[in-house]
Structure 1
Amino acid sequence: MTKTGLLLPLLAVVGLVAYFGLDTVTDTVGDLFGGNDPVIIEDHGYQLLIGDDGEAKVRQCTAQVALTIRQCGDVKVVVIDATKMPFISRNIQLAWADGIPSILTRNSAKQAVNRAAACGKFVPKYGGSCDEYAFATTDEGGSSARTEEVPLREQRCQGGAVTGGYAKAAVGQGDQFLVVIASPGKVATKSFTGADVAEEPVEQCAV
């Protein structure tokens, strides 16, 4: 399936959530996708989006615990906030649908090599920056990562969010962790074109 073809069902889910409510739609999300289906988890007003390879891990706790304590059972959790990084969240969501895992392994020693392999030949069209998922600081990053142009502000924001996420969840070198997206309703529904992007201070982006 093409990336455009994957995005259309995601837009359909957004419409279903708006019409029927999140609880009704959550259990049917998997029927609209193939592969590593993005799954919405919700409880007590807390919502998150994950790849379905991480669903069993999140079910060991609650969405609230995952987003605040940053650990579910035996897995550590790193949060990407779609309110602050809507286009990066979109790239992650599409990467999950392409089969790239939501459970990653930290390896910061590979960051420069992975970044070059994923984005070394990337040419931005709209003055943005190359975003890659899986993260460059993981074993899963590099040439197999999904890349997409995102606003430069979001790219600067993500570095601090991931580094801060590692610290908050105590993710050490060689540790596995689960990536989740907070505020899934704020994930961008189309690719970045350079228009209508607010320039906020980077410090406001930290998760």
Structure 2
Amino acid sequence: MATKSGTGFLLPLALVAAGVFFWPQIEDGASDILGGATGGVELIGEGEHSFLVAASASSQVHRCTPRQSLADGACEELKFIVLDAAKMPFIGRNVSEAWQSGKPGVLTKESNAETQNRKYVCTKSFPRPHGGECDEYPFASTRQGGKGARETEVPSRENRCQGGTINAQQIIRGINDGDDYLVVITNPGQIATGDYQGVDIAIDRGTCG
């Protein structure tokens, strides 16, 4: 299995195991969100119990075992929103590349911010040349969302899957407005290696949410 750099090249798992990766490219607005200009991702755990997180948030999951964290959907008091790259490879790509550019791994749910945030992200003018939908990270329903979020075109099915997944996990885990949560990506080896070109490449297109 491998993880990707910001340019889409695959990095061997042996290198991933060494720790945190950093990429030189920085998107506009990254420092506004993080208070700094360094991004990266870190692979936590091994095999079926592995998951990807933003390097800026990795210290918050080292206190717990990967297996138990995934089983609980949390590490101590920090709850997880888990996105499965086997179901959402292009959304996984968007989120992981946003982390690489410095976007945060811990988000704060803020439903009332969504209307204002959507004035800046995934507007009607966003190009969708392959008939898909716009995906943004950080999510518009968070305090960190809105202006400066990373946007990309993804399959419509993935967008629906992500919405259902986030809503269901927030209810199950009791994530309310004002609560922080950690975004993690499972099956990181299935993250898309390139932009969406009109074909849904997910290996699992089953039930989401």
| Whole-Å separation in 2 of the counterparts to 1:37 and 1:98 | 7
Equivalent in the alignment of 1:146: 150
| Whole-Å separation in 2 of the counterparts to 1:157 and 1:177 | 19
Residue 118 of structure 1 deviates from its aligned partner by: 0.5
Answer whether contact 2:86 2:202 (CA < 8 A) is retained.
no
Residue 92 of structure 1 deviates from its aligned partner by: 0.2
Matched, 1:76 2:51: no
* Aligned sequence identity (%): 36
Q: Give the TM-score normalised by structure 1.
A: 0.84
Of residues 124, 131, 136, the one that matches 1:132 is 136
Equivalent in the alignment of 2:126: 122
Answer whether contact 1:77 1:177 (CA < 8 A) is retained.
yes
| Whole-Å separation in 2 of the counterparts to 1:76 and 1:60 | 13
Answer whether contact 1:57 1:73 (CA < 8 A) is retained.
no
Matched, 1:94 2:93: no
Taking structure 1 as reference, are residues 44 and 181 closer, same or farther at Cα in structure 2, changes over 3 Å only? closer
Gaps of 5+ in 1: none
Q: How many residues align?
A: 192
Residue 7 of structure 1 deviates from its aligned partner by: 2.2
Letter in 2 for 1:33: W
Greater share of residues in helix: 1
SS at match of 2:90: helix
Equivalent in the alignment of 1:112: 115
Taking structure 1 as reference, are residues 44 and 125 closer, same or farther at Cα in structure 2, changes over 3 Å only? closer
Taking structure 1 as reference, are residues 198 and 53 closer, same or farther at Cα in structure 2, changes over 3 Å only? closer
Of residues 3, 10, 13, the one that matches 1:12 is 10
Aligned pairs (5 A) from 1:35-46: 35-43=38-46, 45-46=48-49
Q: Give the TM-score normalised by structure 2.
A: 0.84
Gaps of 5+ in 2: 25-37
Residue 168 of structure 1 deviates from its aligned partner by: 2.4
